[in-house]
Amino acid sequence: MFLKAAVNGGRSQAEHPTVPVTAEEIAADTLAVISAGADVVHFHVRTPDGGQTIRPDALAEVLSAIRAVAPDAVVGTTTGLWTCSGPEERYALVKSWEVLPDFASVAFSEEGAAETASLVVERGMVLESAVWTMDDVPALLASPTLHENVRILIEPVEEDPEEAVAAARAMAARIREAGVTSPILYHGDGPTVWPLVRAAVEDGHETRIGFEDGTDLPDGSDASDNAALVRAARALAGG
């Protein structure tokens, strides 16, 4: 099973004390989750006030810290619109990145997604495209970069686990019906995290785990760190 570790997202250390926030913490966590069995790592660059950013200088600081301790790790970041003022600034910021991640994620629920996805590919990064609802799928399928994705991320917004799994499977079926052969990755949020990990294992898809999505282990207890979540996902998938 292909497993991505999403180590922080926008989660604060008030929510869990071992959420990595600084460049050094993200780098140390990258090494830890790779050692625990993650295949790739997804991080969000954080600001001193707890926010998120895609500024080139801040991104370069994190990537430099990661590559100093885990030079072979495959790492990527977000291009989410919440990191900037809007699609125009996002495009300008991604265009100005000097130190590049291995991959970048683009959500097709957002304005300007197709243009940003094209820019990611043009700049030589590996592209992941994400859909959150069935309404996002037509834009994904119409995108010029559709067949250049290393994977398609399916991130259902439903809070009920059964509804979230059903939504993920419906989106996956629609994407496959359109002839897309890229790997598909399911992941959830909060109460839907582990149901979607299990569904991904059952369906033969990729999956994701980490503090961005949730802090609980499958039995409902609190995970000590991201590496514990990765080990639990590996155990659930049978190794």
pLDDT tens digits, 171-188: 999 999 999 999 999 999
List C-alpha distances in Å: 188 to 53, 55, 158: 22, 27, 9
Given a contact cutoff of 8 angstroms between Cβ atoms, the answer to whether 180 and 152 are in contact is: yes
pLDDT classification of 238: cutoffs 50, 70, 90: confident
Cα torsion through 196, 200, 205, 210, rounded to 10? 50
> Can you give the pLDDT at residue 172?
98
Report the distance separating Cα 183 and Cα 149, nearest Å: 9
The pLDDT of residue 239 is above 70: no
Q: What is the mean pLDDT of residues 111-125?
A: 98
pLDDT digits (tens, 9 = 90+) for 4-30: 999 999 999 999 999 999 999 999 999
Q: Which residues of 60-94 are buried (b: 16+ CB within 10 A; e: fewer)?
A: bbbbebbeeebeebbbbbbbbbebbeebeebbebb
Count of other CB atoms within 10 angstroms of residue 49: 5
Q: What is the mean pLDDT of residues 186-210?
A: 98
Per the document, the length of the chain is: 239
* Strand 75-78 to 103-107 pairing: parallel
**pTM assigned to the model:** 0.97
Enumerate residues 6+ apart whose C-beta is below 8 A from 17.
Answer: none
pLDDT digits (tens, 9 = 90+) for 139-150: 999 999 999 999
Average pLDDT, the chain: 97
Report the distance separating Cα 146 and Cα 180, nearest Å: 8
pLDDT digits (tens, 9 = 90+) for 85-117: 999 999 999 999 999 999 999 999 999 999 999
Helix (H) or strand (E) holding 52: strand 52-53
pLDDT digits (tens, 9 = 90+) for 23-67: 999 999 999 999 999 999 999 999 999 999 999 999 999 999 999
> Can you give the pLDDT at residue 196?
98
The pLDDT of residue 125 is above 70: yes
